[in-house]
Structure 1
Amino acid sequence: MSITRLIIGSAWLLASAASWAADFKSVGAAPAVLYDAPSTKGVKLFIVPRGAPLEIVLTYGDWVKVRDVSGELAWTPARGLSSRRNVIVRAPNVKVRTAEDDASAVVFTADKGVLLELGEPGANGWVKVRHRDGPAGYVRSSDIWGN
């Protein structure tokens, strides 16, 4: 009977892991300080500019462990993050297009590191984004980080 429970438990764990999706938030109105521990007494590691996306890895009370675009892990107070979603362009000269198609017209070109507002997901691996100056269009989800 314990072998059956182990198999059922393992299957449930695998099923729940497969349905897990990354949770992203953006840095709020003020830059976020990232620490090596969930405390302001920890060592300050980085300062992340406002609007930058961070992946939430773990929540511990009022603190969250986050991953940044470079893959680094650190802690920051949850209150400094916003549910507003932004993404970072991860490749040079990414073409933002009028439609979800490589043949569609280019609205603008975004360089590596440019911050864009995340819109709704499109079809076939495309995502709608908007530049803070107004232009909007579609990019391949593989060309951005934070979605």
Structure 2
Amino acid sequence: MATLPSLTKSVLLLACVFVAQAATAVDFRSASRHGVLLYQQPQDAAAKLFVVSRGTPLEVLTEQGEWLRVRDRQGSLAWVKKADLSATRQVEVLRSTSVHGQADSASPVVFKAEPGLLLNLLDNARNGWLRVKHQGGQEGFIRIEEVWGA
């Protein structure tokens, strides 16, 4: 049996890694307005499960036509109309924490964030820190494990 040259093996291995990373990428979107309805099934006549407020981050699991299957922070599954979600990303603070001026816990604190606070996600540096913006205008960095929706 013939063997693949080592360069070809390396290229194939690298391609597999990129495919695996893409397959595990998490897609979050936020409710585009107050009063977005989440349904039991992907149809208008389905039972309405609950309502979310503008900015609430939801994890998108799958797409079916004009509907998205989503999961909320508590793990509840539901369907939502695609048009009711925005690509503008927000994250929800999970516990009392500090937002820092730099991506470093030793940097000065810009503001304190309490559980439930929604922050605009500006950037994910992929180093454990997120650059966020408060609705009041302050910007800073928060640890990724302190929020839901990133």
TM-score range, shorter chain: 0.7 to 0.9
Residues 34, 52 of structure 2: 8 Å contact kept: no
**Percent of paired sites with the same residue:** 39
Residue 118 of structure 1: aligned partner = 121
Please give the alpha-carbon distance, in whole angstroms, between the structure 1 residues aligned to 2:77 and 2:17: 24
Post-superposition, which runs of at least 4 consecutive aligned residues in structure 1 deviate over 4 A? 11-15
Query: Which of 29, 32, 53 does residue 28 from structure 1 map onto?
Result: 32
Indicate the SS of the match to 2:145: helix
DSSP 3-state at the match of 2:46: coil
What pairs up with 1:11-22 in 2 under 5 angstroms?
Answer: 16-20=19-23, 21-22=25-26
1:87 corresponds in structure 2 to: 91
Amino acid of the structure 1 residue aligned with 2:57: P
Cα offsets for 1:91-147 (capped at 9, x unmatched)? 1x2100001111111111111111000011236301100111111100000101101
Contact 1:24 1:53 in 2 (8 A): yes
Contact 1:30 1:80 in 2 (8 A): no
Q: What is the one-letter code of the residue matched to 1:56?
A: V
TM-score under structure 2 length normalisation:
0.84
The number of aligned residues is 136
Query: Which deviations, in whole Å up to 9, do the C-alpha atoms of 1:19-56 show, x marking residues without a partner?
Result: 32011111013421001100111111110101111111
Gaps of 5+ in 2: 1-12
Does 2:78 match 1:74? yes
Alpha carbons 1:100, 1:122 under 8 Å: kept? no
The structure with more radius of gyration: 2
2:69 to 65, 68, 71: 65
Check the 8 A contact 2:33/2:53 in 1, yes or no. no
For 1:19, the aligned partner's letter is A
Contact kept? 1:27, 1:51, Cα under 8 Å: yes
Pair 1:121–1:13, CA change in 2 (3 A): closer
CA distance change for structure 1 residues 130 and 15 in 2, over 3 Å: closer, same or farther? closer
Which of 35, 43, 51 is the aligned partner of 1:39? 43
Structure 1 residue 99 and structure 2 residue 102: aligned?
A: yes
* Aligned counterpart in structure 2 of residue 50 of structure 1, from 48, 54, 57: 54
Secondary structure of 2:140 counterpart: strand
What is the CA–CA distance in structure 1 between the aligned matches of 2:27 and 2:125, rounded to whole Å? 19
Classify 1:27/1:123 alpha carbon distance in 2 versus 1 (closer, same or farther; 3 Å).
closer
